[in-house]
Structures are given as structure tokens and as C-alpha cells.
Amino acid sequence: MYIADVMRRSGRSIRSAKGRTLLTALAIAVGTFALSLTLAASNGAQKFVDQIISDNFDPAELIVAADESITSNASPSKPQQYDPSFGSTASGAGATIQVKRITDEDIKKIRALNSVESVREGIQLNVLYVTREGQNKYVATIAGLSPSQKPETLAGDVQQPPQDQTILIPEAFVQSLGFANASDAIGQKITVAVRKPINPASLDPAVLLEIQANPQKLDEITASSIVFEEYVIAAVLKKPTTSQPGTELYLYVNNADARRLQDISTTGTAEFGKFFTVNVKVKNGENPTTLEAAQKDLKDLGYFSLSVKETQAFLNQAIGILQAVVVTFGAIAVVASIFGIINTMYISVLQRTREIGLMKALGMRKRDIGRLFRFEAALIGLLGGLIGTGLSLVAGLIGNPAIRKAIDYDGNLIIFEPLQLGGLVILLIFVSIFAGWLPSRKAAKLDPIEALRTE
């Protein structure tokens, strides 16, 4: 019997048991829906991560630190011995840890490497507040604008690097600082307040005695230690969707201004001239071999580095873990549907015992009988796969506009790849054939005489 004839007969058998076939296919469709939607969501998430990386990082740059815990994101597992030359910070759980900082002397050593093109301090400074005349004061973080950052603006222009004493403010600060709109803010001045540290040892003994007698005197001294700097607003930044997480409210200045503000806030303290990280641009760093060689040079000097590619891999690893969890649940649904196919095919064999006996009596071979039932199982798998992927496509069409509106993102976060969907459907067909193997063997082994006697 020709394979085409077997396939046509399988199709007729499927159509004659529409209800049972549809229910079995829907069981497969549930797992297919979960798997295809998960794959599409992970595609979108990876594209989103890639966009964040390309909009904020230079692939030729390395993030360099003097402490391995910064680049490896690892917390110490045992108590640390106190070292006054180290800076203190808080771990993710809030515990105080000491971190070795990069110093100006370290920066000189790094700049001296032949493979290094430039070094830029990593500065994120929590200033006392920002304000303008007649308006409230707001806490703020000021950072140096990276040359690789490409922020979108609502008004004004972003120059690389920004001019001295100019500042880029986020959209959220426009109303807070009393501007009518983004355009109204351009060219206006805002005041940045930074507190100079007070060293009690430098105070006059008479002043110390006065503070003991009148604690309010300390408030006066503290107030006099505040340094005010004026900046002209050069641009208002659009609310970002592909910025580094946690930087949505950053105000940006050029790196020289950021360094000066940090120096003001740390003068006379152990934190002066120290940085958690520096950004090192490597000559011809787009070449992976050159970048790896520069990382080795830095390691030989005792520094730890993280490339953009490694950062991207870390973010994608987190996505992969979430993807694996959802895929596991989808796979469980598919495995459960296998038993449904086996059950359906066994019932079909029992109901068609006399038909099988008649086909054998008329000369149909065992191999063709087995193929008949395996083709039926394959058609059920195909139907379930098409229903599941079809529903996921509909979910994507509905979900993408809603997601874009919710996070103000221009791209899609549910991205279907035809090869993935096709491969998933083909996989389900083979899974269904595997599930129908035992029932098909039972049908192929039936004795025609005994089968024809069956009521």
C-alpha cells in the first residue's frame, strides 16, 4: 500500500472522530502555547538587553576595579579585616563590606599601558540637592555622561562631551523644578548643592567649646560648608526605556565637572580621589583578541575587569534561568499530553479492531497498519502544534501593543522566530509519533481471524 494512501486513510479516520481528536490536540496545544510564547518572550528580552548594552556601553571599553567583588558581583563569605584605606559600602542584603578602590595612582598605571587609549572615572555622586530660585529642593544623583550613551531628548541637544557647567536633566525633573515644559527648561540655570566634609580636628578649640555649649552652632558650621554651583540646562532627556536599571533619574554633566563635584564632597576624607570603577577604552578594543590581551595586562597589574560582552552574558543568563523555569512547565504539559495521545490511539485500536482485521484479510501488511496509526498520531500532534502556535501568535499581537504602551518602548518584546515555531511543531509531531508507537504495534500484531470475530 502506498504511503499516500495510508496518509489519506489516516486523515479520514481523524475526521471521523473529530471530538476525541480535538480534545487530544488541545491538550498538546496548551504546552505548545506556553513553549512558543516563552521562546518569543525570551527573544524579545534578549533584544531588549542588547539594546540596553548598545545604548549605554562601548564594546571597546572595560569596566575596571581594584576589588574582584565588584566585577564578579560576589559578597565576602567571611568577616573582613578593617582597612582604613578601603571604602565601605553596603552589599545587596544591606551588610557593610569593605571594597578596595581605584586611586589616582592606579589610574596613572592603567593609562601607562600600551593597550589603553583612555581612562574615565566611574562617578555617580549623590549631591545634597538640586534646586532653582523659588522652587523646592530635590535629592539627586549626578554622573558623568559616557561617550557611548545615546540618550533621547525632549528638548535641547546632547553634546559629547557636554560643555562645562552644563547639565542634562531627566524628564521627571521638569515639573518638579517649576518649568512649564521641556523647552521652557533649556538655557535656564539650576543650583547644585554639595556639602564639603567637616574635619573636627581642623576646628578651632574655641569653636569646639562653643559647639559643646550650644549644639545649634554645629548646624551653622554645617550650613556654611555647603558649596553651591550653577549649571545651565542643555537638554531634557526623554524617559528612557533602554537605560541601565536605576539610572532613570540621573542628571548628567561632563566627566570633569563630575570629578570636581566629587572632589568637593570628599576633600579631607579617606574617600578623596577614589573610585569603585573606571572605564578603560582599549585601542582597537572592538577586536576580541585585543580586548582579551588588555584584560590580561590589567590582571597582571592586579586589577579586575569586566567587558561589555561579559556584562551582556550575565544579563542573558538571568533571562535564560527564567526561560528555563517556564519552558519546564510547558514541557510538563507536553509530556502529560503524550499520555492523552496514547489513550486516544488505544481507544481507536479497540474501536476499529474488526476494521483492522478486514484490512489484514484483504492483504494490508503489518507495516502499513502500524504506519496508519502512527500517521494518525502525527496528525494529532500537527493539529495541536498549529493550534498552540496560532494562539501564541494571537497573544503576541495583542500583548505587544499593550507592552509598548506600558513601558513606552518602540520595539516588540514578544518576538516570534519562524524557525523556532517550525522546529517546535516538527518536534511535537515526532513526540506524537513516539506516543502512538505502542498502540500502532498492538494494531499491527492483531490476528486477522480473531479481529474479525470481535463484536
Pair type for strands 278-282 and 226-237:
unpaired
Tens-digit pLDDT profile for residues 408-423 = 777 788 899 999 899 9
Give the whole-angstrom CA distance, residue 50 versus residue 291: 19
Total Cβ atoms within 10 A of residue 443: 27
Longest dimension (CA), the chain: 119
Residue 357 confidence class, pLDDT cut points 50, 70, 90: low
Residue 141 above 80 pLDDT? Answer: yes
Contact call for residues 384 and 25 (beta carbons, < 8 A)? yes
Cell of 81: 579585616
Best-predicted range by mean pLDDT (30-34, 136-140, 305-309): 136-140
pLDDT of residue 310: 83
Contact call for residues 192 and 142 (beta carbons, < 8 A)? yes
Radius of gyration of the chain (CA): 34
DSSP 8-state secondary structure symbol assigned to residue 267: T
Residue 309 confidence class, pLDDT cut points 50, 70, 90: confident
What one-letter code names the amino acid at 329? F
| Mean pLDDT on 147-168 | 89
For 186, 221, 294, the CA distances from 210, given in Å and listed in that order, are: 46, 11, 56
Q: Read out DSSP for 324-375?
A: HHHHHHHHHHHHHHHHHHHHHHHHHHHHTHHHHHHHHHTT--HHHHHHHHHH
355 compared with 107, residue with greater pLDDT: 107
pTM: 0.68
| Mean pLDDT on 257-264 | 93
Phi, then psi, of 93 in degrees rounded to 5? -90, 0
pLDDT of residue 349: 67
Tens-digit pLDDT profile for residues 6-46 = 566 666 666 666 777 787 788 888 888 888 888 888 888 88
Cell of 135: 522652587
Residue 128 above 70 pLDDT? Answer: yes
Give the whole-angstrom CA distance, residue 176 versus residue 251: 14
Give the whole-angstrom CA distance, residue 228 versus residue 338: 71
Residue 68 confidence class, pLDDT cut points 50, 70, 90: confident
* Interacting residues of 189 by C-beta distance below 8 A, sequence separation 6+: 132, 230, 231, 232, 233
Nearest partner of 381 among 6, 5, 10, judged by Cα? 10
Collapsing DSSP to helix, strand or coil, 93 comes out as coil
Please report, in angstroms and rounded to a whole number, the separation of the first and last CA atoms in the chain.
27
282 compared with 362, residue with greater pLDDT: 282
Residue 197 above 70 pLDDT? Answer: yes
- Answer positive or negative: Cα dihedral of 223, 226, 230, 234: negative
| Mean pLDDT on 140-156 | 88
Residue 229 above 90 pLDDT? Answer: yes
Residue 221 above 60 pLDDT? Answer: no
Cell of 223: 550650613
